[in-house]
Structure 1
Amino acid sequence: MGVCTVGDYLLRRLQEIGVRHVFGVPGDYQLEFLDQVEAMDGIDWVGNCNELNAAYAADGYGRLNGIAALVTTFGVGELSALNGVAGAYAESVPVVSIVGTPATFVVEGKQKVHHTAGDGDFTRAAKCAGEYTVAQAILTRDNAASEIDRVLRFCWLLKRPVYIMVPSDVAYETIEAPADPLALLEPSSDPRKLEKFAGRARDALRAARSVAVLVGPEVDRYHLTGQLMELAERIACPVACLSNAKGVFPEDHDQFIGGYAGKLSDAYVRESIENADCLLALGTQFTDSVTGGFSQNIDPSRVIALHPTGAAVGNTQYAHVSMKDALLALAGTGVHKPSAIASLLQRRARGQAYEPVRSARLVQERFWEQFQAFLEPGDVVIADQGTAYYGCAELPLPHDCTFVGQPLWGSIGYTLPALLGTMLAAPGRRHILLIGDGSFQLTAQELSTLLRNGLHPVIILINNDGYTVERCILGADASYNNIATWRYDRLVEAFDPQDLAVTAKANTEDTLAAAFAAARSNRDRLVFVEAVMERLDAPESLVKLGKAFATADYHHAPVS
């Protein structure tokens, strides 16, 4: 045991689990804690333009770093951030949400202080946070050490946000705290259930004439890419991914056949996945936006499904079987089902003849061809929901690329602040953001934080004059899908008093090629490219998805 303050103990624990940056906005109820953040070696404070952006940045950081931390003030700050925290909850990103609250005696006395409703009720925001966090704590001098450890373990184990309230009079309280590093929890298996699962799965694999693997996002969240690779290569079967797991399996691998999205899939991918005698569904989540509006046609009786804390063979469920143990068990079955695989890269090479860049007006199809050539191994690609996400989802990524999107929560504007987080989590890599003009206008001010921190991403703004993703669903020419026209290059200039950015505007193929060339030669500066295209020009997959959404049962009341 050792003596330290509550705030220092929380920060030490955050350091131990890998947090090097803390995002947020200052407020008077957490200034004491922020003083402790500033004094703590190894943790940097990253001030954001608003609390929502801070939460988005923490989400991006958590995806690449493994865990993140966010600090806001009571009421106004935490509720502003809650949409971002909820997105991290939906997408299984571990974020520690720390909220500075009024002093204990203020709460106990039900005083009518600022950032409250003035009725002495201090519980409303915490109730809201409880809906989107997996563990919550109100720190006191007596419980701080145990509660901090408990909540952080849940954050790591369940890969979802947690909520810690630090009263302003508690942060500097002195406590006796454990000196040993925090022991983090990992999902574990019941040995008997694991053995039963492995036996049943082995029989299913051996009886199958054809096997395929479908990868979902939980493989990435639980850092199991190595185990996935071992299993796939031992079985030697085709591998596809859902778009929210893009890049988790190397897309230049001979076994990778492409993305699966139900009826929106390439015919070869769809046949390989839906007609396999045995489908290994690894960490998959079949949501509307990644399945073409629930258009997947997969027979559950032919599926071996793995999730973080449970598995299934057909309709037989096995609780308390961890995905890691299940992957190792499947790899150890000795099943080898080699098949003739037409990889994504092979099919692309056969099916596409490259056309030289022309002076023609820029269109989506040609934009994505040039962007494909712009990508390099190791890039981090962040795509906002809409034309950016669905256009990028169809491209083969070079080796060791990471893809970041938010198709389940789908909060537009998420990616610009998330870019700040990914860059601080992985500063040695090139980061490329693809974002629509409508999305950009929601969180544009965080561009100034990127510049203030001297970061050098490539930001590609797809200017198609409004909410094209919504136009694909309904209201192609409706006024509610219109936005204000901005002079985006001047906005960058306004945020860039130290001349750290390079801007370019492209509305033809050759001007886009020049913009990408400028990005390659200015790696030590932020590069902002505005790519202008027609408002109804969209990737084919988004057009089809829009039609599926427009007619989906869950968008309309049932007819009586």
Structure 2
Amino acid sequence: MKNAPLYTRKAPISSSAAVTSIPLQFGRKSRLPNGENASRTLPEHFPHMAIRSELGGIRTELMSLDFRRSVCTGIRSEFRGIRSELKSLAVVNNLEDAHEQIDTAISTALKESKPVYISISCNLPAIPHPTFSREPVPFSLNPKVSNQRGLEAAVEATLTILSKAVKPVMVGGPKIRVAKAKSAFVELAGTSGYPVAVMPSAKGLVPENLPHFIGTYWGAVSTAFCAEIVESADAYIFAGPIFNDYSSAGYSLLLKKEKAIIVEPDRVIVANGPAFGCVYMKDFLQALAKRIKKNTTAYENYRRIFVPHGQPLESAPKEPLRVNILFKHIQNLLSGNTAVIAETGDSWFNCQKLKLPEGCGYEFQMQYGSIGWSVGATLGYAQAATDKRVIACIGDGSFQVTAQDVSTMIRCGQNTIIFLINNGGYTIEVEIHDGPYNVIKNWNYTGLVDAIHNNEGNCWTAKVTCEEELKDAIETATGPKHDCLCFIEVIVHKDDTSKELLEWGSRVSAANSRLPNPQ
């Protein structure tokens, strides 16, 4: 074919990149499919391509007409509004440079691990053009290479600190993923002998069967005995951390910067002093692993104070279901063939306490505290990871924001298990700032999903109020309904929350209530 239309262009998109098609309406703020502002929910460090599709891009000839000036001004303002959040913005309103603009945006997303936005005028995609008839050039990324002298200096400075430390520790953060440094982090953990913890949003990135794994470090709501070991250490390596109000439990972490080695994806900061740029995390961790001296003192201290976790109290026959009983049964569902999606809210804390078998996936988002994100995330994860059965733990308030994504789950034939935890309100918000706005209209959730199902596709629903009903529902979901989307509504008391949420909510509430600094 001499000429090919734009929509036939085959972009060399990496499996690690996400693509969102956004048919936006003219003059509205950019919103992702889950209803959130694009500038709020695009991940900070992830190659994400938001593509404004045929329905959304304004026609080329209308861009300059006076009678649509207000619309066009709104569109341009919209681009300006999200520009600061993006690494590249491509507005395709002619075919002459469309090829170059699209390839540049995609390349930028993959190279920088940052979001880009491509808007294509709605009257262009089906028009043939010679540039889109060529075979695509194979895409390759040059590997990022650390500055060798900077790398050596960073390792030397780090070893100087660690050689003086008696009980150092390691903590993994969420940026390990974008730095592609998971294996390097595990290698260093093995050679150092240090206790290994993860920040809450890094759960699932580090194997929990590592010999010296001690759990989640989250300040006052950490895994038992984890915070005591981390905060009493005389040196700590933080690989890819994000310290914000949520991950620091209201900025209440008892850490000292002069004891910390902060390893970012592209730089290393040693003891709140020298910063070594152009040093990539993977290279640094591998180089440090070759020279570090083994020190198991902190882990031996952990072993001395550790007391195994208890079990929740047994339920009486037909006793109203408790959340800790629910998660006891969810724990038994986990294997290397499953993945857990933890919604914003009390599921943050309950899912953190799950012990992940080797190979079990886990996704947890707390950078923005965006409620409802997990419904769309469950849809996307299940569609991509066809070798795993997704188990999603979602609160009723969050589900009301993005419930419509269940329709696509059914249409795509997914076999996810969704536990809809119905406690009648925004429980996490109650603990941060209570008020009548945290009480929501109750829905017939199973009835809603049945209506969406409409006898088309495979979907099964159940409503449970006690442990006996929960056991039956799980047995059905893992047995005769294994190939169905299984939606299990779990009725629990409105005040049935984890102790971690109570503690965390109090600290975040206190941080939010601080008086402003004098200007």
Taking structure 2 as the reference length, what is the TM-score of the superposition? 0.90
CA distance in 1, matches of 2:155, 2:4: 48
In structure 2, do the counterparts of structure 1 residues 118 and 544 end up closer, same or farther at CA, with 3 Å as the change threshold? same
Residue pair 2:169, 2:298 contacting (<8 A) in 1 also: no
Question: Where does structure 2 lack aligned partners over 5 or more consecutive residues?
Answer: none
Q: Deviations over 1:463-517 (max 9, x none)?
A: 0011111111232xx4211111211111111011226222222222222222222
Q: Deviations over 1:530-551 (max 9, x none)?
A: 1111112211111111111222
Residue pair 1:74, 1:99 contacting (<8 A) in 2 also: no
Aligned match of 2:418: 459
Aligned match of 1:117: 70
In structure 2, do the counterparts of structure 1 residues 234 and 3 end up closer, same or farther at CA, with 3 Å as the change threshold? farther
1:175 is displaced (CA, Å) by 4.0
In structure 2, do the counterparts of structure 1 residues 241 and 84 end up closer, same or farther at CA, with 3 Å as the change threshold? farther
Residue pair 1:88, 1:161 contacting (<8 A) in 2 also: no
Residue pair 1:85, 1:161 contacting (<8 A) in 2 also: no
User: Which of 132, 139, 145 does residue 182 from structure 1 map onto?
Assistant: 139
CA distance in 1, matches of 2:297, 2:356: 23
User: Which of 392, 404, 417 does residue 433 from structure 1 map onto?
Assistant: 392
Indicate the larger mover: 386-395 or 362-371: 362-371
Does 2:218 match 1:261? yes
Aligned match of 1:148: 102
Aligned match of 1:285: 242
The correspondence of residues 56-205 of structure 1 with structure 2, limited to 5 A, is 65-73=16-24, 75=26, 79-81=30-32, 83=36, 85-100=38-53, 101-107=57-63, 109-113=64-68, 117-118=70-71, 122-139=75-92, 140-171=94-125, 172-176=127-131, 179-184=136-141, 186-205=143-162
SS in 1 for 2:46: coil
Indicate the larger mover: 514-523 or 284-293: 514-523
The amino acid that maps onto 1:365 is: N
Does 2:185 match 1:221? no
1:111 is displaced (CA, Å) by 4.8
CA distance in 1, matches of 2:105, 2:507: 41
The amino acid that maps onto 1:507 is: T
CA distance in 2, matches of 1:344, 1:85: 43
Residue pair 1:505, 1:532 contacting (<8 A) in 2 also: yes
Aligned match of 1:368: 327
Residue pair 1:193, 1:320 contacting (<8 A) in 2 also: yes
CA distance in 1, matches of 2:120, 2:489: 43
CA distance in 2, matches of 1:340, 1:378: 33
Q: Deviations over 1:328-382 (max 9, x none)?
A: 1111214222347379999998332575554222122222222222222242111
Does 2:249 match 1:295? no
SS in 2 for 1:547: helix
CA distance in 2, matches of 1:305, 1:165: 38
CA distance in 1, matches of 2:428, 2:60: 47
Aligned match of 2:169: 212
Does 2:277 match 1:319? yes
1:218 is displaced (CA, Å) by 0.7
In structure 2, do the counterparts of structure 1 residues 504 and 119 end up closer, same or farther at CA, with 3 Å as the change threshold? closer
Aligned match of 2:8: 8
SS in 2 for 1:432: strand
User: Which of 436, 448, 459 does residue 501 from structure 1 map onto?
Assistant: 459
Aligned match of 2:206: 249
The amino acid that maps onto 2:12 is: R
In structure 2, do the counterparts of structure 1 residues 316 and 156 end up closer, same or farther at CA, with 3 Å as the change threshold? same
Residue pair 1:88, 1:160 contacting (<8 A) in 2 also: no
CA distance in 2, matches of 1:534, 1:234: 47
1:132 is displaced (CA, Å) by 2.3
In structure 2, do the counterparts of structure 1 residues 354 and 537 end up closer, same or farther at CA, with 3 Å as the change threshold? closer
Does 2:396 match 1:445? no
CA distance in 2, matches of 1:124, 1:84: 14
Residue pair 1:473, 1:546 contacting (<8 A) in 2 also: yes
Q: Percent identity, aligned pairs only?
A: 26
Does 2:188 match 1:231? yes
Indicate the larger mover: 217-226 or 69-78: 69-78
In structure 2, do the counterparts of structure 1 residues 178 and 295 end up closer, same or farther at CA, with 3 Å as the change threshold? farther
In structure 2, do the counterparts of structure 1 residues 438 and 307 end up closer, same or farther at CA, with 3 Å as the change threshold? same
The correspondence of residues 332-481 of structure 1 with structure 2, limited to 5 A, is 332-339=290-297, 341=299, 350-353=308-311, 356=314, 358-359=316-317, 360-475=319-434, 478-481=435-438
Taking structure 1 as the reference length, what is the TM-score of the superposition? 0.83
The amino acid that maps onto 2:279 is: V
Report how many residues are paired: 505
1:127 is displaced (CA, Å) by 1.1
Aligned match of 1:547: 506
In structure 2, do the counterparts of structure 1 residues 342 and 484 end up closer, same or farther at CA, with 3 Å as the change threshold? farther
Indicate the larger mover: 345-354 or 259-268: 345-354
Residue pair 1:96, 1:162 contacting (<8 A) in 2 also: yes
Q: Deviations over 1:382-427 (max 9, x none)?
A: 1111111121112222222222122111111111111110011111
In structure 2, do the counterparts of structure 1 residues 542 and 395 end up closer, same or farther at CA, with 3 Å as the change threshold? same
The amino acid that maps onto 1:162 is: V
What root-mean-square deviation, in Å, do the aligned CA atoms of Structure 1 and Structure 2 show?
Answer: 2.7
CA distance in 1, matches of 2:129, 2:514: 54
Indicate the larger mover: 516-525 or 437-446: 516-525
Q: Deviations over 1:156-188 (max 9, x none)?
A: 233221011222344335243674212235543
CA distance in 1, matches of 2:513, 2:284: 35
SS in 2 for 1:93: coil
Aligned match of 2:470: 512
In structure 2, do the counterparts of structure 1 residues 446 and 547 end up closer, same or farther at CA, with 3 Å as the change threshold? same
In structure 2, do the counterparts of structure 1 residues 332 and 67 end up closer, same or farther at CA, with 3 Å as the change threshold? farther
SS in 2 for 1:123: helix
The amino acid that maps onto 1:188 is: V
The amino acid that maps onto 1:470 is: E
Q: Deviations over 1:93-137 (max 9, x none)?
A: 321011242233321x23535xx8346564122112213212112
